[in-house]
Structure 1
């Protein structure tokens, strides 16, 4: 399990093509990719299971707890993300509610994620 931040402060200012904005790069893939939103109400859980492919969960709103079979329970909040490798057992819970973007892909590459935080 790796935890990331994708808040504006971890992004890069883009000026190409006469632009002016900040972008936080998240991931890239070359194969089929599943992108979805997860809505957990207070007290709800994504139960412990093994990741079928590498996964990235980006918290858009709220906060909760994540853990894996290799890492203890850890708080995650808005502006942070967590990734799990293929086959890694993991779980997400929340006491107050959590909305997240989930990206799943066999060849999900996160090594260029600018906001890496060691846990």
Structure 2
């Protein structure tokens, strides 16, 4: 067994004119699968960009918003997830701060909620 912290805030990310975004790489699998912890400070934004691969954005703490190419914002809170397909334009941000785990790489199949 190995234990570790995944909220280490290792690397500020200025790409895409992002503001207040810090990433910690957690793990990578065979092929293109990667897991990253993103921390977005209060008032921060992950700038508009195309998803370089399929991305799953899982909000673990805080709240914020996400938007697609049309710019229409949808609220997200801890426990919410968003999936963007490869090439899909998107952005996200927060007024009060949020933390999200991001799984990128091979497309993932979502399971329907249990009835």
> Shorter-chain-normalised TM-score: which range?
0.5 to 0.7
Equivalent in the alignment of 1:85: 85
Q: Where does the alignment leave 5 or more consecutive residues of structure 1 unmatched?
A: 1-28
More strand by percentage: 2
Computing the radius of gyration over CA atoms, which structure comes out larger, 1 or 2?
Answer: 1
Matched residue pairs, number?
Answer: 86
TM-superposed CA distance for 1:32, in Å, is: 2.5
CA deviation string 1:63-105 (max 9, x = no partner):
0010011562100000000010111000010000000000001
Could you say what secondary structure the match of 1:69 adopts? coil
CA distance in 1 between partners of 2:95 and 2:60 (Å): 16
| Aligned Cα root-mean-square deviation (Å) | 2.0
Equivalent in the alignment of 1:100: 100
CA contact (8 A) 2:51 2:90 kept: yes
Q: Where does the alignment leave 5 or more consecutive residues of structure 2 unmatched?
A: 1-28
CA distance in 2 between partners of 1:85 and 1:71 (Å): 16
Which runs of structure 1 show a deviation greater than 4 angstroms over 4 or more consecutive aligned residues? none
TM-superposed CA distance for 1:56, in Å, is: 0.5
Structure with more contact order per residue of length (Cα contacts < 8 Å, sep ≥ 6): 1
CA deviation string 1:27-48 (max 9, x = no partner):
xx87331100000110011000
CA contact (8 A) 2:85 2:107 kept: no
- TM-score normalized by the length of structure 2: 0.68
CA distance in 2 between partners of 1:89 and 1:59 (Å): 19
Equivalent in the alignment of 2:108: 109
